[in-house]
Amino acid sequence: MASLHSITLDEEGCSHYYLCNISRIPISMPLQMVADFIVPKQTSSIVAELETLGVRIVPHKLHCYKETLPTKFGFVSYFLHHKAEGSRDDEKIHQLFVQWATTELPKQTECDVRIRLAQPLNCCQSGPFLRHLHASSKALAKEGGALDVKKMETFLLSHITFFTQAELEESAGAAGSPTIRRVASESESWGVVGTIAPSTIPAVELGWLRKELPAHFPKVADVSSLETFFYEILGSLVAVVSAEGSDGAAVVEIESPIATGAVPPVPK
C-alpha cells in the first residue's frame, strides 16, 4: 500500500468531508502520478465559483492498494477549507463540490483510471455513511470480516453505484423525505443508497475476493450464490442487482464469466 497525507486533520470536525474511489490504476503507475490527477484545476469554473464563496477543495488522504490483480485500486478524501467563519450557504457549497466530483474530477485522469464519489450524493460527510456501512456489513465487521477492513471497504466501494440526485429526489417525493439526509448520523434511518451488480465484476477480482473472505465466499460461484453472497456481506444499504447497463440502470443479465462458475480457485 502506498499513501500520502496532506495535513493532520480532525475529519469529524469538518463540515464538508468527502470520499472518492479510484480504480483501474495501472500497476506501473507511481503514486505521484495518481496524486497529480486528484488536484483541483484552477481553470475549473466550479473551483472558481467555490473560491468566490471563500471555499477551497483540499485533497487530504490518498491511498493505493497493489494486490494480485491486473490493476491497483485506492481512494482519496477531500475536505473543504473555509477561509472565513460566519454565515455561508452550506447546501450550495455541497452541491458545487458534488458537481465537481461527478463531472470534472473523472475527466482529470489518464490511462483509463476511474475516479468517482464513494458516498451517497446527498451526504456532505463520509464518516456517518461509512460507519453505518461497517455496522451493517459482514465483510467489514471487526470479527469475522476482512483482515484489512479499509482495503476491503475500498474494493467494495469501487463496485457500488450510488443513486443519482434525480433518484434521491424521486425517493424523497415518494417517501416524503430524502432516503438519507444531507447530513446523516448513525441514529437516523438509512435506506438503500446504491446498487452492486456481481455479474459485472471480473472473474479475477472474484477470485481475489474469495481469498480475502474465505469464510463467506460461496463454494459454487454461480450467479444466484454470488448475489446472495453480496447481499449478506453488504447489508441493507446496497441493493444487489443482476447487472447494470451503461447508464447505471438495472438489467436482467449480461454475458459474464461467473455465469458458468468460472471463478479462479483460491491461490495456495
Give, for all 268 residues of the chain, the pLDDT tens digit.
Answer: 566 555 667 676 788 999 999 999 999 999 999 999 999 999 999 999 999 999 999 999 999 999 999 999 999 999 999 887 767 888 999 999 999 999 999 999 988 999 999 999 989 999 999 999 999 999 999 888 899 999 999 999 999 999 987 877 776 555 544 433 444 444 556 788 999 999 999 999 999 999 999 999 998 878 889 999 999 999 888 999 986 544 444 443 333 333 334 444 433 3
Q: What is the pLDDT of residue 225?
A: 92
Same domain, yes or no: 5 and 101: yes
Same domain, yes or no: 14 and 49: yes
Helix (H) or strand (E) holding 18: strand 17-26
C-alpha cell at 178: 430524502
Q: What is the pLDDT of residue 86?
A: 65
Alpha carbon distance 204, 184 (integer Å): 36
Same domain, yes or no: 15 and 88: yes
Domain end (from 92, 118, 144): 118
Q: What is the pLDDT of residue 92?
A: 93
Question: Contact, 139 vs 233, CB < 8 A?
Answer: yes
Q: How many domains does the chain have?
A: 2
| Rounded (10°) CA dihedral 110, 196, 11, 109 | 10
Residue 87: which CATH number?
A: 3.30.70
Same domain, yes or no: 114 and 139: no
Report the alpha-carbon angle 100-36-13, nearest 5. Answer: 55
| Distance in angstroms between the alpha carbons of the first and the last residue of the chain | 22
Q: Can you give the residue range of the structural domain that contains 105?
A: 1-118
Same domain, yes or no: 47 and 160: no
Alpha carbon distance 106, 73 (integer Å): 15
C-alpha cell at 159: 463496485
Same domain, yes or no: 132 and 110: no
Helix (H) or strand (E) holding 196: strand 194-196
Question: Contact, 121 vs 248, CB < 8 A?
Answer: no
Q: What is the pLDDT of residue 119?
A: 96
Same domain, yes or no: 94 and 146: no
| 55-65/2-5 β-pairing | antiparallel
Q: How far is CA 197 from CA 8, 74, 160, 190, in A?
A: 36, 20, 8, 21
Locus of grid cell 481512494: 75
SS3 45: helix
Same domain, yes or no: 80 and 167: no
Rounded to 5 degrees, φ, ψ at 167 are -65, -35
Same domain, yes or no: 88 and 25: yes
* Cross-strand bridge partners of residue 21: 75, 116
Domain end (from 84, 100, 118): 118
Domain end (from 118, 144, 174): 118
Same domain, yes or no: 133 and 248: yes
Same domain, yes or no: 170 and 235: yes
Q: What is the pLDDT of residue 256?
A: 34
Q: What is the pLDDT of residue 171?
A: 61
Please list, in sequence order, all residues whose beta carbon lies within 8 angstroms of the beta carbon of residue 80, skipping any fewer than 6 positions away.
Answer: 14, 15, 16, 17, 50, 55, 56, 57, 58, 93, 97
Same domain, yes or no: 100 and 140: no
